[in-house]
Amino acid sequence: MKIVVCIKQVPDTTEVKLDPVTNTLIRDGVPSIINPDDKAGIETALQLKETLNDGSTVTVVSMGPFQADVALREALAMGADEAYLISDRAFGGSDTLATSTIIAAGLKKIGFDLVITGRQAIDGDTAQVGPQIAEHLGIPQVSYAEEVHIEADGTVVVKRQFEDRYHILEMKTPCLITALSELAKPRYMSVAGCFDAYREKEVKMLTYEDLKDLLDPSQIGLKGSPTNVYKSFTKQAKGAGTIYKDLSTDDAVAAILAKLDERHFI
């Protein structure tokens, strides 16, 4: 089975702050990491490969600037077999739709049986790219995967987290799942893995030139991105609410009405 994991390099948002004047991210000095959900996806892929133990492979793919190379090397050092960086100036400015269009083209080029993406990236939080890739590829998908295993006949069984329950779903390959970070605790890179990631493995580039047969120029980059950011702003922290305890129904109604009156809501 060829398992392909789509990963994104993101700023470590636990260390990111917004510029209060421009409302843009201050990225200076902020370390870049593999998006946590995606990293759980890598771990899952490695575990599936180890469990299957049938010559299955794990490929990691990322779309981004050259700096994303190090995220792919990290995945290689964790044990992935091969890595692809989809990168081209023509892809710059892509929103989720254009991004998923390009990644889907990349996946067609690379080949896949099972595609794993993270649920969502911590810098954008859209949770759109994974499902969109499945739609572009015309393959079944299960999002919010918390557990996954593969049956002897190749059926992919996924436990999907839902608001108030779980769904156990089965799919035939080729298919796609989006991984929650709860899916698996990522392993560390191994020492030899760190060396092999540079000495024995390579990050292969896929540019527009490599994918142009599969892409419509009007569907990629800024031109292919219908999303426009209308406004961005820093959310003001709300004050703590008031809690009324142990009141009778009548007293509670009176207290709420008094509060609404005080704030001129009524």
Sites of contact with other proteins (CB under 8 A): 70, 73-74, 77, 187-199
Smallest distance, other proteins to C-beta of residue 62, A? 16
CB 145 within 8 A of CB 176: no
> What is the DSSP secondary structure assignment for residue 13, as one 8-state letter?
G
How many whole angstroms from its chain centre is CA 16?
Answer: 18
Residue 77 or 176 with smaller CB distance to other proteins: 77
Contact between residue 77 and residue 203 where contact means Cβ atoms under 8 Å apart: no
Distance CA 80, CA 189 (A): 10
Measured from the CB atom, the residue of 77 and 137 that comes closer to other proteins is 77
Closest separation in Å from C-beta 74 to other proteins: 7
Instruction: Tell me the residue type at 102.
Output: I
Nearer to other proteins, 77 or 102 (CB): 77
Closest approach of other proteins to the CB of residue 73, in Å: 6
User: Minimum distance between the CB of residue 79 and other proteins, rounded to whole angstroms?
Assistant: 11
Smaller CB distance to other proteins: residue 193 or 221? Answer: 193
CA 102 to chain CA centroid, nearest Å: 15
| Tokens at 40, concatenated | 């759980």
The least distance separating other proteins from the CB of residue 93, rounded to whole angstroms, comes to 28
Evaluate whether 80 touches 6 at the Cβ level (below 8 Å): no
Residue among 233, 222, 215 at smallest CA distance from 107: 215
Of 71 and 148, which CB lies nearer to other proteins in the complex structure? 71
Which CB atom, from 118 or from 186, has the smaller least distance to other proteins? 186
Spatial CA neighbour of 103 closest among 135, 144, 62? 62
Torsion angle, alpha carbons of 218, 220, 221, 222, to 10 = 50
Closest contact distance (angstroms) between CB of 70 and other proteins is: 7
How many other C-beta atoms are found inside a 10 Å radius of the C-beta of residue 189?
17
Cα 79 to chain center, whole Å? 19
Q: How far is the CB of 187 from other proteins (least distance, A)?
A: 8
- Give phi and psi for 11, each to the nearest 5: -70, 145
Identity of the residue, 74 or 88, whose beta carbon is nearer to other proteins in the bound complex: 74
